[in-house]
Chain A
Amino acid sequence: MDFEVKKKIDLHGVSCPMNFVKTKAALEGINSGEILEVILDEGDAILNVPRSVKEEEHKIVKVIPCDTTYRVFIKKK
């Protein structure tokens, strides 16, 4: 990957909407343009969190499936 991950949080097992709340909180802790890596569950999590992230105008730059979870890389707006 051609970017540096600034922060990483594992939200495996965390359900909606707490997973997005935690994603948002983690994004608060990094600067604009930096990358947050989030581990999200398959199912509702991978559908809902990216949608909310988009609504807040952050940008997902990479998604890597990993068994029953996904590694999602989000660039802060």
Chain B
Amino acid sequence: MPEEKFDLASFKKVGMIQQKQLDYFAMRLRAVAGDLTTKQLRKIAEVADKYGKGEVHLSTRQGVEIHNVHHTNLEKARLSLEEADIKMGACGPRVRVIVACPGSATCKWGIIETKKIAHELDAKYFRQDTPHKFKIAVTGCPHNCAKATENDVGVMGGILPKWEKEKCIDCGLCVNVCPTQAISKKDNEYILDIKKCIYCSICTSLCPVSSWVIAKKGYTVFIGGTMGKIPRLGTRVRDLVEDKEELYELIDKTLKYYQKNGRKKERFGRTIDRIGVEKVKKEIL
């Protein structure tokens, strides 16, 4: 049987996934935060031409995959990719390649340095074994382009706004653009309903006279999000953590908690639901 020719588990660990054409593999590459240089793209094209079928597949997690590589060419293809510093991705029960939106590097709405955080988390956790797959996403703001709420751990930049009366010209733009109607006007005062505010920065960015200012800026953390067979949005466990080290400590505790308490083939969200959100929060916060 062809399956017995390979140690499929160790292949999966480095992102080499057996196709239904059993002698052929998909090579999943590691593009942290979805970034590759043009030099790397050229190398990928070269390898796909030489060892694949001249095609690449873009995955839903910002990854690039070279499909249809014969198993006898896998090592040659991998070494060739390494020449351009392209590393292999991951598959199976472990921490996957970390996705991120461009964040404050180039996006007008970006609040946090998503790429930097993704790289730092990648350096620390990539390929660590977990009970089931473990996905991390970093998104720059509550527009949530990188879908922090659909990942086992999601980090989202955010700001808490504050109204400064003396600068306000009473134009009313903030009331009309706030996506959650968290801002209202009462007796010549603009009031923020903190329960409704999603920390999106639309008011502070748009206010023509900067009457809405940033009172606090930080990282909001979601845990246990997943799509797949049984979708579950992440549970918001912390709002606007200001200190990056504190954020990293929380992520570290969260991952360790899952590694200790998760059952085999049980996504983190299911673990949380089985044990109870409050109990999990108590352990990780």
Contacts and interface: CB of A to CB of B under 8 A. Distances in A.
A34 to B, nearest CB: 16
Interface string A38-55: 000000001100110110
A61 B211 CA distance: 13
B205 interface: yes
Interface size class of B (residues with CB under 8 A): 10 to 19
Contacts of B172: 62-64
Contacts of B230: none
Contacts, number: 35
Interface of A is mostly: strand
A60 B171 contact: yes
B169 interface: yes
Interface of A: 46-47, 50-51, 53-54, 59-65, 70, 72-73
23 contacts: A47-B206, A50-B177, A50-B206, A50-B208, A51-B108, A51-B205, A51-B206, A53-B208, A54-B208, A59-B169, A59-B208, A59-B209, A60-B171, A60-B173, A61-B169, A61-B208, A62-B171, A63-B172, A63-B173, A63-B176, A64-B172, A70-B176, A72-B173
Interface of B: 108, 169, 171-173, 176-177, 202, 205-206, 208-209
